[in-house]
Amino acid sequence: MSRVEGAYHKLIVWILMVMLLLPLVATLIYALVSEWGATILPSGFTLKWMISLWSDPRFLIALWHSLLICFGTLVLSLVLILPLMFVIAYYFPKLDALMNILILLPFSVPPVVSSVGLMSLYSSGPLVLTGTPWILIGCYFTIALPFIYRAISNNMQAINLRDLMDAAHLLGASTWKAALLVVLPNLRKGGMIAVLLSFSFLIGEFVFANLLAGSRYETLQVYLFNMRNGSGHFTSALVISYFVVVLGFTWVANVLNKEKS
């Protein structure tokens, strides 16, 4: 590689970095200054927006709601999808093609349409969920499904499931024990990717949250929407805080993942 080429590669990387980081950095600065209106440079740094955000009980409740919904969805998804995928991969491999089409459905139907459908589905028996946070978990499950299915299915194909199960059976393990002791631990990597992907996607979800629960059960994004007429510095602080929360969880998850392997 020549020097010119190297410089060119570096330039591209730098431009990309700047493009990705600039909005974030600008938002961060905006959240940390007292006034930045008619002047080129901001008039002074302050933490008052951050402090007022983190001392707003409404924000803390919205954050709690968002985390609860996200983790609720992830737990529900994993509990339902992992056994399902094992059954498909081990007993009915032909169904995988069908599943690959089914998991695209949540994307093919616009949220505005599907939320109407979901509301009418859940507003009468046997399961009345409309107006409760549970409807969001049910709905988010369908959105998270494609991410989780794809990530775990790739992982499942990589581990040679059939031979591992056969080997475990011959060594005296029941199918349950084999699935739990041999297959499940080897899906950790795919499972982690699935969880992180879905988490960062779900915590930023607005359309469904607003249509299905709205102000009755304010999540972070709905709270942000409701605050849109307030100070821009305040909403900037909110965006940065939200970003830091996602970053924090991702980092913790990565550390936990590394420690085990």
Q: Name which position in 9, 10, 177, 216 contacts another protein (CB under 8 A).
A: 177
Nearer to another protein, 164 or 192 (CB): 164
Of these, 41, 101, 124, 163, which contacts another protein (CB under 8 A)?
Answer: 163
- Segment near another protein (CB under 8 A); pick from 86-94, 122-130, 146-154, 181-189: 181-189
- Least CB distance to another protein at residue 163 (A): 4
Please pick, from the candidates 46, 52, 130, 186, the single residue that binds another protein as defined by CB under 8 A. Answer: 186
Among positions 102-161, residues that touch another protein (CB under 8 A) are: 159-160
- CB–CB of 138/73 below 8 Å? no
Per-residue tokens: 146: 């494609």
**192 binding another protein? (CB under 8 A):** no
| Rounded CA separation 29/46 (Å) | 10
| Residue 174 or 254 having the CB closest to another protein | 174
Least distance CB 184 / another protein (angstroms): 9
> Least Å distance between CB 170 and another protein?
5
Min dist CB 166 to another protein, Å, is 5
Give me 62's structure tokens.
Answer: 């919205």
| Segment contacting another protein by CB under 8 A, of 20-28, 138-146, 182-190, 230-238 | 182-190
- 76 scored as a contact of another protein (CB under 8 A): no
Using the minimum distance from each CB to another protein, give the nearer residue, 150 or 169.
Answer: 169
Cβ 78 to another protein shortest distance, Å: 18
Q: How far is the CB of 25 from another protein (least distance, A)?
A: 40
Q: Does 10 bind another protein (CB under 8 A)?
A: no
How many residues form the binding site for another protein (CB under 8 A)? Answer: 19
Residues 6+ apart with CB under 8 A from 189: 155, 257
Annotate the chain with three-state secondary structure: CCHHHHHHHHHHHHHHHHHHHHHHHHHHHHHHECCCCCCCCCCCECCHHHHHHHCCHHHHHHHHHHHHHHHHHHHHHHHHHHHHHHHHHHCCCCHHHHHHHHCCHHHHCCHHHHHHHHHHHHCCCCCCCCCCCHHHHHHHHHHHHHHHHHHHHHHHHHCCHHHHHHHHHHCCCCHHHHHHHHHHHHHHHHHHHHHHHHHHHHCCCCHHHHHHHHHHHCCHHHHHHHCCCCCHHHHHHHHHHHHHHHHHHHHHHHHHHHHHC
Reference 234, options 27, 25, 20; nearest CA is 27
The span of 54-62, 165-173, 230-238, 246-254 binding another protein (CB under 8 A) equals 165-173
Using CB under 8 A as the binding rule, whether residue 173 contacts another protein is answered as: yes
The verdict on 182 binding another protein (CB under 8 A) reads yes
Q: Which residues bind another protein (CB under 8 A)?
A: 159-160, 163-164, 166-174, 177, 181-182, 185-186, 188
